[in-house]
Amino acid sequence: MHNVRTTVKTLQRVGNSHAIVLDRAIREAIGLQPDDAVQITVSGDSLIITPVGVGLGKAVVARSLKSIRPRYRVMLRNLAK
């Protein structure tokens, strides 16, 4: 079962829009960093904000390339020409 936390926030006016400010404790609880992408879902009268894992990350890409290069070395050289 998920650890459920509830808090009450007030919408803040930002120009012609409104914003919900997420406190550090909330961001840390779901692993959000500044500039992270989130998915916003409206379900009935509820708003659900979910972190979105964008991309694979540099370490995963580096490991993948390391395993692919030996197998496809000749083909990759020919494509680069």
Q: Is residue 44 part of a domain?
A: yes
The CATH number assigned to the domain holding 16 equals: 2.10.260.10
Q: Is residue 63 part of a domain?
A: yes
Q: What is the count of structural domains for the chain?
A: 1
pLDDT tens digit sequence for 38-66: 889 999 999 988 888 766 667 777 888 88
pLDDT tens digits, one per residue of 6-40:
889 999 999 999 999 998 888 888 888 888 888 89
Torsion angles phi and psi, residue 63, rounded to 5: -65, -40
Quote the longest CA-to-CA distance of the chain: 59
Q: Would residue 59 count as lying in a domain?
A: yes
User: Which helix (DSSP H) or strand (DSSP E) does residue 49 occupy?
Assistant: strand 46-51
2 found inside a domain:
no
Q: What is the pTM of this model?
A: 0.54
Q: Report the C-alpha gap between 47 and 24 in whole angstroms.
A: 19
Domain housing 68: 12-80
Residue 39, in any domain of the structure: yes
- Contact in structure between 47 and 40 (CB atoms under 8 Å): yes
